[in-house]
């Protein structure tokens, strides 16, 4: 079935106090007590549902998306991601690392494989699987979805599972492009995390190369 098919079902969103993953719910409660004025809830996707491009990250960072409620906003990783989106015309406005900065995404939406903050930024396999219905629903609610950009191996695998594909059939490589059975093109990039950029596993030109591939496919 093509992912371009619309669904009548409402977009599936984790509840603000989602209890599906006990470890993540306990960590959220801890962080709510520590930082009561911050977002501390499953982070919703950002950008228009009409977009052709969906970017899938890993999970919110503690003082980034988990504090602000917008993916990659306040996270170190967001600096490179949003500057690249602005450079490639996939965003307009100014990125000020705050959800009220007025930044708008153009033909692009951003979500995470896991919606809640995981301890040490490491969700377990079970937690990734439990969050899969939310990613699937996201796909079904993007009638023009054409390209899914996976930031890192966990996002790559989550996209494959959500699309009903065998993981062994699609190897993750930076800049790798995969045509999926559901009509979507999966394009991989190393995650734009602080660790990857400081170790130079991912440089800005390498990240931009992937956006060149994406732009040529849109």
Nearer to ligand URA, 115 or 178 (CB): 115
Residues 53, 144: contact at Cβ < 8 Å?
no
| Nearest-approach distance from CB 67 to ligand URA, in angstroms | 11
Nearer to ligand URA, 154 or 214 (CB): 154
| Nearest-approach distance from CB 154 to ligand URA, in angstroms | 9
Q: Which residues bind ligand URA (CB under 6 A)?
A: 57-61, 64-65, 71-72, 75, 77, 112, 151
| Nearest-approach distance from CB 64 to ligand URA, in angstroms | 5
> Which runs of consecutive H residues, i.e. helices, occur in the chain?
22-34, 65-68, 76-87, 125-140, 153-162, 194-198, 204-217
The torsion region of residue 86 among left (phi > 0), alpha (psi -120 to 50) and beta comes to: alpha
The owner of tokens 């969700």 is 123
Nearer to ligand URA, 75 or 188 (CB): 75
Nearer to ligand URA, 42 or 61 (CB): 61
| Nearest-approach distance from CB 65 to ligand URA, in angstroms | 4
Token couple for 86: 């602005």
Residue nearest to ligand URA (CB): 57
Residues 161, 167: contact at Cβ < 8 Å?
yes
Euclidean distance between CA atoms 210 and 190, whole angstroms: 10
Residue whose C-alpha is closest to residue 42's, from 58, 26, 65, 9:
65
β-strand partners of 147:
53, 185
β-strand partners of 91:
105
Nearer to ligand URA, 9 or 83 (CB): 83
Residue whose C-alpha is closest to residue 187's, from 210, 206, 208:
210
Sign of CA dihedral 60, 63, 64, 67: positive
| Nearest-approach distance from CB 152 to ligand URA, in angstroms | 7
| Nearest-approach distance from CB 183 to ligand URA, in angstroms | 25
Nearer to ligand URA, 55 or 214 (CB): 55
């Amino acid at each position: 079935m093509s992912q371009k098919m619309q669904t009548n079902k409402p977009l599936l969103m984790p509840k603000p106090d989602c209890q599906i993953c006990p470890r993540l719910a306990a960590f959220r409660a801890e962080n709510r007590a520590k930082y009561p004025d911050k977002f501390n809830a499953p982070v919703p996707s950002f950008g228009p549902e009409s977009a052709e491009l969906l970017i899938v990250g890993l999970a919110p960072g503690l003082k980034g998306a988990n504090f602000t409620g917008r993916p990659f906003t306040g996270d170190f990783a967001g600096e490179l991601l949003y500057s690249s989106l602005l450079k490639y015309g996939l965003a307009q406005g100014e990125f000020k690392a705050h959800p009220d900065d007025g930044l708008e995404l153009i033909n692009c939406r951003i979500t995470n494989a896991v919606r809640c903050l995981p301890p040490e930024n490491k969700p377990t396999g079970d937690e990734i699987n439990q969050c899969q219905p939310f990613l699937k629903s996201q796909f079904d609610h993007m009638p023009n979805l054409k390209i899914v950009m996976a930031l890192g191996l966990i996002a790559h695998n989550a996209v494959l599972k959500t699309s009903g594909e065998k993981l062994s059939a699609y190897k993750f490589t930076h800049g790798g492009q995969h045509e999926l059975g559901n009509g979507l093109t999966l394009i991989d990039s190393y995650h734009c995390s602080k660790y990857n950029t400081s170790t130079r596993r991912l440089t800005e030109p390498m990240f931009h190369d992937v956006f060149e591939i994406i732009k040529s496919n849109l």
